[in-house]
Structures are given as C-alpha cells and as structure tokens.
C-alpha cells in the first residue's frame, strides 16, 4: 500500500446478516474485501452506541446483546476503496459508510522474528 490513502469506516449492527445462510454481515463484508484484494480490514465490536434512528444499542443484563454496534475499519488507496464501494452498498441495508482522508505514516510488517 502506498500513500496517499483513505480510511473507510463501515458502521453496522451486530445482528445484521447477509444472504440466505444469514451469516453475520460484518463477516460477509470482510470476505468481500479480501476477494477484492484490499490490504486489510478490522472489525470492532462496540460496547454501546446509537445511530440515525436514535435507538440506543448496548449489552443488556446477563450479557444478552441488543444489536450492539460494529465498525469495520479499512485503510487503502482511494481508487481501490471506490471500486469495492458499489458491492458494499448493495450489502448494507442499514448502516453508514464513511470515507476519511488519511496520512500513511508507518507500515510494520511481521518478519521472521529476527532482529
């Protein structure tokens, strides 16, 4: 990955699903990003949040979830993100996709463990 880059943030609910098999939507999105040769993506599980519908989502008593928020963070060159965007838009029924300018400062790659 080379500069300049953008950061795409995708906001979903934990209970959102994809396809007839009803896999979690965040899993389906990450797999789509992998197939599109995106450099990487990270799924973050939120403790609490709310969106445009003003409904509060949080972990309930005894650990029962109430559609907790999930965010997928993707950092990649803008043209690659825009190329995958139409597919993502077709997958996300409720949610938000946000594109942010970024400055790539460092990429640490795992080596063979030798210094």
Whether residue 109 is contained in a domain is answered as: no
pLDDT tens for 67-105 read 788 999 999 999 999 999 999 999 999 899 999 998 888
Mean pLDDT (the chain) is: 87
Whether residue 107 is contained in a domain is answered as: no
- Number of domains composing the chain: 1
Tokens of 1: 């990955």
In Å, how far from its chain's centre is CA 37?
15
Whether residue 115 is contained in a domain is answered as: no
Q: Write down the pTM of the prediction.
A: 0.84
Here the CATH number for the domain that contains residue 71 is: 3.30.70.120
Range of the domain at 78: 5-99
Q: In the structure, what pLDDT confidence band is assigned to residue 46 with cuts at 50, 70 and 90? A: confident
The residue-averaged pLDDT of 56-75 equals 76
**CB contact at 8 A, 70 and 17:** no
Residue 71 in 3-state DSSP? strand
Q: Name which of 32, 25, 28, 97 is nearest 67 in CA terms.
A: 25
Whether residue 112 is contained in a domain is answered as: no
Tokens of 62: 């005894």
Whether residue 113 is contained in a domain is answered as: no
């Amino acid at each position: 990955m080379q500069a300049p880059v953008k950061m795409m943030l995708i906001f979903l609910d934990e209970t959102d699903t994809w396809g007839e098999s009803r896999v979690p939507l965040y899993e389906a999105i990450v797999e789509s990003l992998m197939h599109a040769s995106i450099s990487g993506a990270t799924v973050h599980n939120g403790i609490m949040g709310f969106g445009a519908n003003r409904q509060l989502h949080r972990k309930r008593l005894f650990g029962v979830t109430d559609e907790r928020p999930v965010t997928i963070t993707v950092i990649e060159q803008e043209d690659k993100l825009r190329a995958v965007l139409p597919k993502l838009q077709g997958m996300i029924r409720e949610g938000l996709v946000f594109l942010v300018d970024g400055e790539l400062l460092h990429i640490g790659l795992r080596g063979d463990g030798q210094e």
